[in-house]
Structure 1
Amino acid sequence: MMERFSEWLAEGDLGRYLLEREQAYFDGAVADAFGYHAVQLGLPGHDFLRANRIPLKLVADPDGPAELACLAEALPFASNSLDLVVLPHTLDFTTHPHQVLREVERVLMPEGRVVLTGFNPWSLWGAKRLAAGRYEVPWRGQFLSLPRIKDWLELMELEPDGGSFMAYAPPFSRGDWLHRFAFMEAAGDRWWPLAAGVYGISAVKRMRGLRLITPTWGVAKKAARGLAVAGGNDRHHVARQAQETDPHDPGPA
């Protein structure tokens, strides 16, 4: 199904309209992610990692001309091995979206990042899905709600730290009609962000219980009070320490 969706993005006016906005979102969301290994799960015909500077990047997909053929539900990567994973509608077109996120959490390193997009069911795009039926892409997708995705992310200790809404125009198949509703793009983020056809969200893998260990400076200062200063008046220091230890000793004459 993802292969057909990839073709849909490149073929018609509506697909190209959506692709342009999602490409812009991914370009901004992954630009500052750092590390050594990045993976895009799905849509091998489109490069959503192009703006990232991580040296080792690949696309994984069970179908199509991907560099690695694998299922998103069973990733062939070691645990804690990837720095960045992008999911362009991967959860919309899998029968096990929760398991896919579990796999992503497993393979991400601590502080690694996942960036994903999904269709918003509470939008004009979601309404068309209900009206048109679920026989063609993209309407065959699951259209998982953003609150549900956030709940899954937080359950897996993937902490959302950014996001965006896009594709506010009604899902017309003709470009001239999309152009007529271009004003909705400019006003959407301000007036009706939750009505966008697509959402994007990024999250970071947090390791609960890890904390930075810092010196206990108060204890260190107390311990240092009984130390002689190198090159200083050691005899006077030792005598003073002995006097403080034994109050009946008058000390040196």
Structure 2
Amino acid sequence: MPIFKRNYCFLNYLIMLISFCIPLVSCTTKKEQTQEPIIMMRHDFVIRATDYPVQKAFLEYPVYRGPQNKNILERINYHIGPESVLGRTVDELTKDFQDGLVPFIKARGEIVYFTRSFLQVQWTIDTMGAYQNTSTSMVLVELENGIPHGPESMFEDDLAMARFVSDRIIPSVEKQLKAVYQQHPEVEPVLTELGIPLPYGPDDLFNLHVADNGIYFIYTFKFPHSYASVQPEPVSVFIPWVELKPFTYEGSILWRIYQN
């Protein structure tokens, strides 16, 4: 083969290779850039109380540092941070621990959904009184204006949505509960008398996790503290956007998330 023809073929191959690689590099760069506005803050506290099995507590949460103006950034970080979720600033929590109080053992905010328009953080808080207890809460914030959103801005009829989710999630809840009663039959009469499992209702819609193609709805058992040691892990059920669409409305937060 003549030299110029071999060079021509090689040049074509090189152009094809470069054309293929450029999109890959761009995607990787964009993905890394979406993580840059988020930093994690951690604070450790000494537990002065002598009747606790641990000597330290910690607080960990994300801080958003995006392109928005100062007021909006403050609003976003207020809603996803400890002041809104725990009702205390870091300075106030520090003083609480110094005074011998133990508001929590672990409190952690974790990002579960992050796009250009929305940020959702799941908080998990471990406390200890007579019994150890774990609670979770979700915060979904619109990044354009720093406004938090709950079910009221997602679904047209919260009661209808809750009934739909209940039909999907309660069978798994009952299965989990049955396993508990098999291992601990002594707790069944008391928990049954207390109405466990509690029905899934509109208030439970606040405990949801937005995903790319739908929503994870989460059921927490809410056992009395004295039975927390046998309480099962929360149950979740995924419902895709196509099934959620009839329960939302045009212009709602969910509509905007999944239409983009």
Q: If each structure's strand is expressed as a fraction of its own residues, which one has the higher value?
A: 2
The structure whose Rg is larger is 1
TM-score under structure 1 length normalisation: 0.22
TM-score under structure 2 length normalisation: 0.22
Relative CO higher for 1 or 2, CA cutoff 8 Å, sep ≥ 6? 1
Q: If each structure's helix is expressed as a fraction of its own residues, which one has the higher value?
A: 2
